[in-house]
Structure formats: C-alpha cells, structure tokens
Amino acid sequence: MAREQATKAFLWLAVLAGGPLLGAKLFDLLVLAGAWSANPPQSLAMMPYGKAWPVDTGVFFIPFSAAMLVAGFGALAAGWKTPWRYRWLLCLPSVGILSLLILTVAAFWPMNAALFYHGAGSPKDSITDAQSIAMARLWVQLDWVRIAGAAAAFVAAISALTLPWPQEVAAKDPPVVHALLILALLGVTAFAIWFVSNV
C-alpha cells in the first residue's frame, strides 16, 4: 500500500508539472521561437535573452523540468516491483525527461548561445548569416522532438495514474538490476545538481 501511495503521489507531481511544462513549451515554440526564427539573422534580436528581456524563459522551464525529473524517477523507484505491463509507463516519464534534458544541454544550449551572439552582434559571434538560418531551422525541428517527448511523458504519467494498481508483484530482480537502478538514480541526481548549477 505504501509503494502504491508513493508511486501515485509522484505520478500526480508528474502530471501537475508536466501539463504546464508541455503547454509552455508549445507557447515557446509557436510564439517566441516563431518570432525569433522567422527571418534570421534580423529576427534573432527577438530571442528572449539579454537586457531586453527582464525574465529568462529558463526561470520557468528549469523548476518544472526538475520537478518532472524528480517525479518520474520517484514514481519509477516506488513502483519498481510492479509488473512490466505497468512499469513501462513509469519508465517513459523518467527516461524521457532525462533524455530531453540531455538533448537540451547538448544541442540547445550551444545553439541558443550561437544564435543569440550572432543576433546581438557580439564579439563572441562565431557563425555566418547562412549558418544562423540553418541553425534556427534545426532548432525548431529539434524543439518539435522535445514537445513530442514531453507529450509522451505526460500521457504516460496520466495513463499510469488512471490504470488500476496491479495486485501482482513482479519477480525479484537480480542484484545487478538493483545495482544498475541505484547507479541510474545517483547519475540522475548528479546530472540534476550539475544542470541547476550551470543555469
């Protein structure tokens, strides 16, 4: 009963964080990125960074992403003993959000910096106008991947929350699986700490 309650509490957190996160991501892509990517390099001046923007979009996305990450892995850890027909729904939000955050750090952060510097005419600018056009197009395409991933994580959390709790307990995992789960949770914790400290 305690595992069920803990799993459902984390799933509720995933739903409550994932809904606004997905909605805001759609707004960010369709409205904000729609404006600054419309006609690079001139439109890059509308990127939501720098002195012209008093609030960085990361101020919203980082706490909600962190909450989704904690909720996803919390639900997975609490519901680990459920059968795979249910457990896979717990894997999707956790692994999905982690993958999207890694994509954000590896691909979006460098592109954000390069596009912002180019649009602002910064001495740190390292791309040409043609490269800025191609990069803005790639940014939008990859952002659709982020939205699809966030939608899948959100729907999986809702599905797991609304399905009946499985009464049967999965067969005991071998010690190596438990060790891998602990390593994965430690790795996620380390990544989350690094992520927050580098924003």
pLDDT tier, 167 (very low <50, low <70, confident <90, very high otherwise): confident
Q: What is the DSSP letter of 46?
A: G
DSSP H/E element including 69 = helix 58-78
Rounded Cα distance, 124 and 122, in Å: 5
pLDDT for 187 beyond 70: yes
Angle between helices 129-162 and 109-120 (to 10 degrees): 140
Nearest to 79 by CA among 154, 175, 180, 160: 160
Q: What is the DSSP letter of 45?
A: G
- pTM for the whole structure: 0.85
Confidence (pLDDT) at 114 = 96
Distances (CA, A) of 60 to 17, 63, 64, 137, 183: 11, 6, 7, 24, 29
Residues, the chain: 199
pLDDT tier, 184 (very low <50, low <70, confident <90, very high otherwise): confident
Confidence (pLDDT) at 138 = 97
Confidence (pLDDT) at 198 = 65
pLDDT tier, 25 (very low <50, low <70, confident <90, very high otherwise): very high
Q: How many domains does the chain have?
A: 1
pLDDT tier, 199 (very low <50, low <70, confident <90, very high otherwise): low
**What is the domain extent for residue 159?**
2-197
Nearest to 72 by CA among 188, 191, 199: 188
Nearest to 6 by CA among 75, 69, 66, 62: 75
pLDDT in tens, 81-98: 899 889 999 999 988 988
Q: What is the DSSP letter of 128?
A: -
- Top-confidence residue, 6 or 186: 6
